[in-house]
Structure 1
Amino acid sequence: MADEFLFADEGVQSQPIEPQPPFHILIVDDDEEIHVITKMALADFHLDKRPLAFHSAYSAREAKEMLAKRNDFALMLLDVVMESDHAGLDVARWTREELKNKLIRIVLRTGQPGQAPEEEVIAKYDIDDYKEKTELTYRKLMTLMYSSLRAFRDLQAIEHYKSGLERIIKASAEIFSAQSVNQLSQGILEQLVALLTRTQTAAYCKINPAGYTASADTDQPLQIIAATGEYTQRVGELLKNSDAQRIVNDLRQRKESVAYEIADDTYYGLYKTSKSQYYLLFIKGIGELSETDKHLLSLFMNNTAIAFEHATLLNNSI
């Protein structure tokens, strides 16, 4: 393959690598040179401060094995002609119809454009783009990556939104039980994170009353009662984060019932109830927030704290 179409533009500056989870890219092609050149061209690509992680398959069989093992591939760059003239088309159909993976973006690439006419392929297969290898200049490859990964990111957010909505619906049947309030908080948190942020890591914590003291300088046990991302499996445990403890101590000294701070792309929102209990909303990798977004996060803290208080009062009276 000629080099000039992928390296037509010079002087692109590398972006610093951020400690953010990568977008996983699956390259499926029986030509080793395609793998090497694609990885070199996209080595410094970032979206939302997230780098790319590349995975290589050299046949349709190998691609299916990798797709079956993990479901977090954001994009598949898929060669049409490999061990057969339609191997790539078979992988695309299998991914959508048998594997039921609707999130991964599929871009077919062919070095033999007459082998599979573009209009016919787009009409028959659930793919997202169809490119001849000779037309993929560096700039067009960049455009393809931005459009494909943004689409994947937005579809993923919708899936998280649907998951949160399902939890809310299930919780509504027994709205006054403590278990239901936990489910409700979890569902609303998942929806908020999906709609307002581009991160998946958040925790909603209650300051354990057993560890409460009057001193604002004393660290308080932060018990996780709802979470997403890396904290999902830690509900019920304590949030151990020295920055969170320090900022909670600072926020507790403010007069308003809802106080927040954004530091190092992390949102810390503290809510004080009428019973002098505290709840913390902790979201990593938050990015920019509008005033409306901040208001919605404050409403979440206010309403869930009230729901927990009511559930506690109801259970104590039974």
Structure 2
Amino acid sequence: MDSKSLFKEDNEQLLNDHKRINHWHVLIVNQDKKFHQFIEEGLKDIAFEQKGITWHHAYSSIEAKQILCAIEHMAVILLDTELESMDSGLQIVQYIRNELHDQNSRIILQTSHPETFPYKQVMLSFEINDYQIKSELTSYKLFTSIISALRSYRELLVMEQNKNGLKNVISATSEILKEISIHPLIDTILGQLKAILKLQNTYTYGSLILQKSKQELQVLFKSGVFQNKLIDTTNLFSPSIRQGLDDNLSLIESHTFLMYLGEELERHYFIYFNVGRELTDWEKKLIEIFSSQTSTTFKNVCLVQEIDRTQREIIYTLGEIGEMRSKEIGNHVKRVAEYSRLLALRYGLSEEEAEIIQLASPMHDIGKVGISDIIMNKPDKLTDEEYEVMKSHSLIGFNMLKHSERPIIKAAAVIAHQHHEKYNGTGYPQGIKGEQIHLYGRITAIADVFDALVSDRVYKKGWEMQKIIKYFKEERGKHFDPKLTDIFLANLDAFLKIKDETD
């Protein structure tokens, strides 16, 4: 089960939970090597939140820029104002903020010439976070300024993490709204959960998709650490998770959570997730928000599917009305629908257009409701006059459906009107030929005739397959579109499989 990931990992690595960063990057930019040594010596034992410092050293503007490009997560920059020129340090400040677009790194500007760089003017004109006169530096001042800068950097990370977490939840919610059926929706939800928790490239998590029906719990899918394990659902879950499964509730524990998606056809769906580490409070909040949005989406998708099933049932019922009047009982309209869809796809139409044909083709004979019972039920051969009346069902069906602006009904009107036209122009009711006949009509003509020939009726047995093949070859370019005929014959096994499945 593959799911698309919405989220790029560029600077978001920086925004991973700050507790997972095991050290802080600090850059010293100064031409004086002794000053570098002074800084490191004065702060050699420093640690903040149980993480030490990794020092980076630059002795020129070029070196500073190279290091800043190579290290994305620079927490603090101790920057001398004077390098190659008197204002080189200030140029680096502009480079960091305007070209690298780094607003998180804390910049401490250091100068030996406060008269040239007055602190008020510099602090107000440049995006720096502290100002130091080098001659006044002590270990105490260095320590307090570095700790203050690291604390500020950490708070920015948390704020950015929270902002991006919410953005990811909103993006993930938008992505799941694109799905219109249950199983792709669940796939997408699972993929977005991994993205929100940044688990795409880790192997410590495990997830299960669960289905509960009549109190029986079934594992539909497993991934991560559960992938190759035999899952015993009776002993896997904690008491609170088990209670959530019983009561159809979502809940979050320290390392695991259960997401109740909703109910569809008396089946309840859940996602169980073992993250493999302790969830932060913010991650729990994100899961809670995402779970609420997901539950609403799941209900909407279920409603759409129910409407779709109802629509299909109505369409098939309408189609069967016409067939029942001509004693074409059974699953004829359903088979014609499936044949038409298959032929459309093999022809190269999109899934969407093939579905329109699938839903429209069952109404190809709806016009037979307008033919009198005397003609419809006549056991003997129809007279020429009666046959002309019978042929009018194509026009009757078209007139019944032609006023709709709905794509499916518009397609059904075309099919009802043209499915008895022939490629060589000898069909009815218009006598049009070739590609003057709409593609939908040409497709349904093959589907309808094939099912009529291959199926048993009360008044006849279905034809032998060789006879059917011979007939279609003979009628290629006469009754039927030659290209569609070739596609049909090349895929005959697939059409027969549909027949077997619907009989």
TM-score interval, smaller chain = 0.5 to 0.7
Q: Report the aligned-residue RMSD.
A: 4.3
After the TM superposition, which residues 88-99 of structure 1 pair with which residues of structure 2 at under 5 Å, given as runs?
88-99=89-100
What TM-score do the two structures reach when normalised by structure 2? 0.42
| Residue identity opposite 1:133 in structure 2 | K
Instruction: Describe the SS at the equivalent of 2:28.
Output: strand
Distance (Å, rounded) in 2 between the aligned partners of 1:303 and 1:202:
27
| Residue identity opposite 1:270 in structure 2 | F
Structure 2 counterpart of 1:280: 273
Distance (Å, rounded) in 1 between the aligned partners of 2:300 and 2:190:
10
Instruction: Describe the SS at the equivalent of 2:57.
Output: strand
| Residue identity opposite 2:238 in structure 1 | R
Q: How far apart are 1:154 and its partner, in Å?
A: 1.9
Structure 2 counterpart of 1:84: 85
Q: Contact between 2:169 and 2:286, CA under 8 Å: does it hold in 1?
A: no
Equivalent in 238, 250, 261 of residue 252 of structure 1: 238
| Residue identity opposite 2:29 in structure 1 | V
| Residue identity opposite 1:153 in structure 2 | R
| Residue identity opposite 1:279 in structure 2 | Y
| Residue identity opposite 1:252 in structure 2 | S
Q: How far apart are 1:129 and its partner, in Å?
A: 0.6
Q: Contact between 1:174 and 1:180, CA under 8 Å: does it hold in 2?
A: yes
Distance (Å, rounded) in 1 between the aligned partners of 2:25 and 2:301:
44
| Residue identity opposite 2:256 in structure 1 | G
| Residue identity opposite 2:150 in structure 1 | L
Instruction: Describe the SS at the equivalent of 1:89.
Output: helix
| Of 88-97 and 147-156, the range deviating more from structure 2 | 147-156
Q: Contact between 2:27 and 2:56, CA under 8 Å: does it hold in 1?
A: yes
Q: Contact between 2:166 and 2:286, CA under 8 Å: does it hold in 1?
A: no
Q: Which runs of 5+ in 1 are unaligned?
A: 1-17, 191-200, 211-220, 224-237, 262-266
Q: How far apart are 1:54 and its partner, in Å?
A: 1.2
Distance (Å, rounded) in 2 between the aligned partners of 1:51 and 1:70:
17
Structure 2 counterpart of 1:160: 161
Q: In the comparison of the two structures, how many residue pairs are matched?
A: 257
Q: Which runs of 5+ in 2 are unaligned?
A: 1-18, 180-184, 212-220, 245-249, 263-267, 309-503
Distance (Å, rounded) in 2 between the aligned partners of 1:122 and 1:114:
14
Q: Contact between 1:260 and 1:269, CA under 8 Å: does it hold in 2?
A: yes
| Residue identity opposite 1:119 in structure 2 | K
Q: How far apart are 1:311 and its partner, in Å?
A: 8.4
Structure 2 counterpart of 1:140: 141
Structure of greater relative contact order (alpha carbons < 8 Å, 6+ residues apart): 1
What does the per-residue CA deviation read over 1:48-90, in whole Å, with 9 as the maximum and x for residues that have no partner? 3222211111111110121123321111110111222111111
Distance (Å, rounded) in 2 between the aligned partners of 1:256 and 1:156:
37
Distance (Å, rounded) in 2 between the aligned partners of 1:103 and 1:253:
43
Structure 2 counterpart of 1:299: 288
Q: How far apart are 1:108 and its partner, in Å?
A: 0.5
Q: How far apart are 1:202 and its partner, in Å?
A: 11
Identity across aligned pairs (percent)? 25
Q: Contact between 2:259 and 2:271, CA under 8 Å: does it hold in 1?
A: yes
Q: How far apart are 1:166 and its partner, in Å?
A: 3.2
Distance (Å, rounded) in 1 between the aligned partners of 2:49 and 2:222:
29
What does the per-residue CA deviation read over 1:262-296, in whole Å, with 9 as the maximum and x for residues that have no partner? xxxxx413327484845225374767x6xxx7974
Structure 2 counterpart of 1:218: none
Distance (Å, rounded) in 2 between the aligned partners of 1:299 and 1:38:
45
Q: Contact between 2:76 and 2:107, CA under 8 Å: does it hold in 1?
A: yes
Cα distance change of structure 1 residues 64 and 296 upon mapping to structure 2, 3 Å threshold: closer
Instruction: Describe the SS at the equivalent of 1:103.
Output: coil
Structure 2 counterpart of 1:268: 255
Q: Contact between 2:81 and 2:87, CA under 8 Å: does it hold in 1?
A: yes
| Residue identity opposite 1:268 in structure 2 | H
Distance (Å, rounded) in 2 between the aligned partners of 1:40 and 1:126:
28
Cα distance change of structure 1 residues 253 and 103 upon mapping to structure 2, 3 Å threshold: same
Distance (Å, rounded) in 2 between the aligned partners of 1:19 and 1:172:
29
Q: Contact between 1:168 and 1:183, CA under 8 Å: does it hold in 2?
A: no
Q: Contact between 1:271 and 1:301, CA under 8 Å: does it hold in 2?
A: no
Q: How far apart are 1:204 and its partner, in Å?
A: 7.2
Instruction: Describe the SS at the equivalent of 1:146.
Output: helix
Distance (Å, rounded) in 2 between the aligned partners of 1:38 and 1:286:
37
| Residue identity opposite 1:74 in structure 2 | A
Cα distance change of structure 1 residues 67 and 316 upon mapping to structure 2, 3 Å threshold: same
Q: Contact between 2:109 and 2:132, CA under 8 Å: does it hold in 1?
A: yes
Distance (Å, rounded) in 2 between the aligned partners of 1:100 and 1:302:
34
Q: Contact between 2:210 and 2:272, CA under 8 Å: does it hold in 1?
A: no
Structure 1 counterpart of 2:177: 175
Q: How far apart are 1:306 and its partner, in Å?
A: 4.1
What TM-score do the two structures reach when normalised by structure 1? 0.63
* 1:53 counterpart = 2:54: yes
Cα distance change of structure 1 residues 22 and 294 upon mapping to structure 2, 3 Å threshold: closer
Cα distance change of structure 1 residues 139 and 283 upon mapping to structure 2, 3 Å threshold: farther
Larger-Rg structure: 2
Instruction: Describe the SS at the equivalent of 1:44.
Output: coil
Q: Contact between 1:163 and 1:187, CA under 8 Å: does it hold in 2?
A: no
Cα distance change of structure 1 residues 165 and 146 upon mapping to structure 2, 3 Å threshold: same
| Residue identity opposite 2:107 in structure 1 | I
Instruction: Describe the SS at the equivalent of 1:166.
Output: helix
